[in-house]
Chains A and B, each alone.
Chain A
Amino acid sequence: GNSVTQMEGPVTLSEEAFLTINCTYTATGYPSLFWYVQYPGEGLQLLLKATKADDKGSNKGFEATYRKETTSFHLEKGSVQVSDSAVYFCALISSGSARQLTFGSGTQLTVLP
């Protein structure tokens, strides 16, 4: 079956630090990959996506590249801000799955001023 493994948190960084949150996956078929973000008190929202190998998703300064050879989709940002403090979820949906997204366990990020 499908599974997503992401680095455990919590992660605490100073403002303007470089961020990497690792994500690897196991899936049937050819999955599409996603990063979702959950800000305090809000619902999950899509941050970025990539639908095929070597695609790079980007949004709000965050980037992630779909690496088929390493089955990874690591999230990066060059300079984090306090407002980036949230929980980040890696997720996938594959052609071999039913209609549901498969999520990782989430990584809590706290950015200190």
Chain B
Amino acid sequence: GAGVSQSPSNKVTEKGKDVELRCDPISGHTALYWYRQSLGQGLEFLIYFQGNSAPDKSGLPSDRFSAERTGGSVSTLTIQRTQQEDSAVYLCASSLEGRASFINEKLFFGSGTQLSVL
């Protein structure tokens, strides 16, 4: 597609339920990032995929959070046993390559998934 696509755009769930958030990066982009945007806070890095390398999971806040990227393209972020503090906007971004893309203006963000845990 023309841009990074995320689905659903909004998700309301009950505390304790599992949720899956999907990200379709721009075709051909090898790097994929997940960020979390909580109310009143900055964007928080969650996880980074680059090609076939092992993902950088250093930002995942707990073992309830996991992510995978199948076939080097679509990524799914899974939150198990959701808590109210998980409520946030989850943003996905992709780029052609890794860190250098930030400086070369080749990082593209999706419009996010608004997650509300009741």
Binding site for B on A (CB under 8 A): 4, 32, 34, 41-46, 49, 51, 89, 91, 93, 98-106
Contacts and interface: CB of A to CB of B under 8 A. Distances in A.
Given A43-B91, A103-B42, A105-B40, 9 more contacts: A49-B105, A89-B43, A91-B43, A93-B103, A100-B48, A100-B59, A101-B43, A102-B42, A102-B45
Chain B: interface residue count, which band?
A: 20 to 34
A106 B43 CA distance: 8
B43 A98 contact: no
A103 B58 CA distance: 16
A99 B57 CA distance: 11
Contacts of A104: 42
Contacts of A93: 99, 102-103
Contacts of A101: 43, 45, 102, 107
Interface stretch (B12-20, B64-72, B73-81, B108-116): B108-116
A60 to B, nearest CB: 14
Contact of B103 (A43, A45, A49, A100): A49
Contacts of A43: 3-4, 91, 108-112
B33 interface: yes
B50 interface: yes
21 contacts: A32-B102, A42-B111, A43-B108, A43-B110, A43-B111, A44-B91, A45-B109, A93-B102, A93-B103, A98-B45, A98-B48, A98-B58, A99-B33, A99-B50, A100-B33, A101-B102, A103-B42, A103-B44, A105-B40, A105-B41, A106-B42
